[in-house]
């Protein structure tokens, strides 16, 4: 999605300042030695190394953190719940983003050129858009799950089953895949957008469908799910506050209520943690989304360096969720400890009660 939303901005900037013709005296700092090549922004060696190191650390954190989430949910049977299956699918999308998209995006950002060909550019854009939309859909579904668990706890076990979670996961991957395939690989759609197409980009860029329409199409796909998530979490907050008083009164009751009390506390903790994840998602994505919309209206005035910073700020959101789990979930810290100490290779660890100390 990031490629698609920034396409018209990159195209306009490169057309104004990043092409050369035969009349140019010295074709220097070009991606390719040919007419119509993009100019290459050459950073000092120290700056290049620093950017590569920062991006590599971000990729490593994204891959390792989400890999731990995937292993934990797969291995420990107590974590085989509908909510955690959604978390597993979300972590898988972020993991694949770190493995398949970020390495090439790093080179493109630092070198300011795309060296991998048009075919792979299209596929890279497909993966980028797919994983981005998948994350948005999963966060929205997780919000629905938490809303059911907090606001309707008695019916929640029967309403939100593993089967329902699998349906949500299928929709969360299937709809983005179909949507992205249609707009990236359908010639009919491209032919129908001829009136919106602007100047073609210079050689050495990775931008497809260079028109403002893309930004306005993708904006609702980000904005409306976010509105749904915000609305649900406002209601969750109100209900959870009321339940906090009930929990306080339950503390004074008989021992028989301990199981129900523990379940209510875990549900509220899960809702709070996932609310933080949604808030951080909005914090990372809103600057890029708003800038993309405003930039297309104001004549693409955002400096390229700032534009890349906003893109990577959105990318690094994929590394945040595992960090949130580490600081919020004791069960996740215990799972990580068992994974890192290689105790998961013992069959008996699959039945460990990670909630025991909570």
Mean predicted confidence (pLDDT) in 175-189: 80
The yes-or-no verdict on residue 279 having pLDDT over 70 is yes
**Secondary structure of residue 94 in the 3-state scheme:** helix
How far is residue 333 from each of residues 61, 65, 86, 171, measured CA to CA in Å? 16, 12, 19, 30
Pick from 264, 6, 300: nearest CA to 132: 6
Is 60-96+132-201+210-346 a domain of CATH 1.20.1070.10? yes
- Cα(157)–Cα(227) distance, rounded to whole angstroms? 26
| Residues with Cβ within 8 Å of residue 20, at least 6 apart in sequence | 27, 30, 35, 36, 37, 39
- Cα(61)–Cα(319) distance, rounded to whole angstroms? 6
Query: pTM for the full model?
Result: 0.81
Per-residue pLDDT tens for 164-178?
999 999 999 999 999
pLDDT the model gives residue 169: 96
Rg of the chain in Å (alpha carbons): 23
- Cα(33)–Cα(144) distance, rounded to whole angstroms? 53
**Where along the chain do its domains lie?**
60-96+132-201+210-346
How far is residue 226 from each of residues 217, 265, 356, measured CA to CA in Å? 15, 26, 34
Structure tokens at 255: 């021992």
The yes-or-no verdict on residue 6 having pLDDT over 60 is no
């Amino acid at each position: 999605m990031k490629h698609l939303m920034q396409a018209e901005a990159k195209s306009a900037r490169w057309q104004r300042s990043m092409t050369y013709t035969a009349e140019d005296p010295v074709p220097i700092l070009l991606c390719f030695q040919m007419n119509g090549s993009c100019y290459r922004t050459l950073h000092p060696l120290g700056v290049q190394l620093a950017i590569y190191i920062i991006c590599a650390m971000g990729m490593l954190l994204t891959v390792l953190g989400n890999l731990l989430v995937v292993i934990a949910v797969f291995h420990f049977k107590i974590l085989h719940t509908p909510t955690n299956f959604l978390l597993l699918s979300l972590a898988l999308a972020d993991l694949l983003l770190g493995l398949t998209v970020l390495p090439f995006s790093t080179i493109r950002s630092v070198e300011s050129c795309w060296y991998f060909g048009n075919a792979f550019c299209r596929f890279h854009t497909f993966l980028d858009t797919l994983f981005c939309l998948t994350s948005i859909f999963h966060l929205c579904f997780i919000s629905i799950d938490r809303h059911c668990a907090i606001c309707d706890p008695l019916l929640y076990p029967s309403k939100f089953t593993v089967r329902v979670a699998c349906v949500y996961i299928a929709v969360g991957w299937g709809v983005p895949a179909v949507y992205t395939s249609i707009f990236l690989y359908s010639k009919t759609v491209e032919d129908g957008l001829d009136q919106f197409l602007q100047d073609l980009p210079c050689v050495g860029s990775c931008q497809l469908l260079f028109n403002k329409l893309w930004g306005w199409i993708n904006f609702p796909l980000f904005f409306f799910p976010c509105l749904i998530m915000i609305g649900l979490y406002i209601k969750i907050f109100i209900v959870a506050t009321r339940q906090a008083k009930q929990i306080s009164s339950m503390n004074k009751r008989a021992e028989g209520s301990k199981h129900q009390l523990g379940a209510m506390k875990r549900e509220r903790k899960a809702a709070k943690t996932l609310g933080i994840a949604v808030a951080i998602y909005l914090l990372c994505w809103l600057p890029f989304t708003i800038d993309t919309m405003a930039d297309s209206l104001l004549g693409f005035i955002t400096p390229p360096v700032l534009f890349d910073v906003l893109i990577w700020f959105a990318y690094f959101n994929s590394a945040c969720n595992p960090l949130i789990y580490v600081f919020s979930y004791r069960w996740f810290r215990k799972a990580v400890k068992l994974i890192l100490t290689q105790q998961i290779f013992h069959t008996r660890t699959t039945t460990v009660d990670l909630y025991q100390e909570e």
